[in-house]
Amino acid sequence: MRSPLSPALLVVLFGLAGCSTSATVDALDISPETTSSVARPAAPIPEGDGSEVAEGDGAGIAALAEPDQVTAEAAATVALVTPERPMRATGRHKVVKAAFRDAHPINFGPRKPQHHAVHGVDVSRWQGNIDWEKLRSQGANFAYIKATDGTDHLDEKFRKNWNAAAKAGLKRGAYHFFYWCSFASAQADWFIRNVPKERGALPPVLDVEWNHHSKCRKRPSPAFVREKMQVFLDRLEKHYGQRPVIYATPDFYERNLKGYFKDYPFWLRAVAEHPSKVYPGREWVFWQYSGSGLSHGVSGRIDLNVFHGDPGEWQRWLERTAG
């Protein structure tokens, strides 16, 4: 039902109310979070499953009441942020040849995933208990591990996977599934509270896509999407001293990201065609080529990925980016 009040008066009233719901923010397509670096232009980077349901859908509303305030614990975390980069990892990372199988193999043409030397996986609680030693022996050289989504959900397997993957010799990083009905700054603070700043970790990942199973049905404008993303990305880069990686699906990329964020490393999902056809002209660092991978060490299916480069380029990328 349309409100009898004028749009200008509604904005004032909502502002006085402290934006008590996320629906208000997205319905007006106005963001209280601003940054001067939205879609900053820059030269392209050198060459480089978020399909699960976000589980923190309903509990992030309290964080919206005071967009400029966070909990005492989060505030203490943010206060300790430093722009300095962590210490560099030392030593070469041994690359193990991939021996993965695929329940639904795809013919990608002449440029196949198998032509890439450095393979890896991404996981969440849906993979259950993982034998990381076996997974490493199958050719998992890196792993991106689901950490958080929204402002209140921590993947129940994150800490176990985070520690076990490192112990098994994988390079690992964490990803955040973005929730479009919560403030970006609160989501960044939640990720920072739960993901350690560790030497040797891969850059953090912002996973952006539409979640058709979520209670959040908002589809903000592309400009609004990019603004929220930039707030999140800036906050993580300041804390971890690493430029975050952006993960995107084809439909989301086409509507919101095409031509933007060229100075960020991209991790692209292309499970039916080569990235050059799905994302023409876009440089990428990681390619998620399958959501139906099979491997010793994991019961069921697992997402499979490759790094865009040979072992030498992988080592140099680690030296530039991994703390």
Active-site residue list: 122, 209
Task: For residue 205, list its beta bridge partners.
Answer: 175, 245
Phi, psi at 247, each rounded to 5°: -100, 135
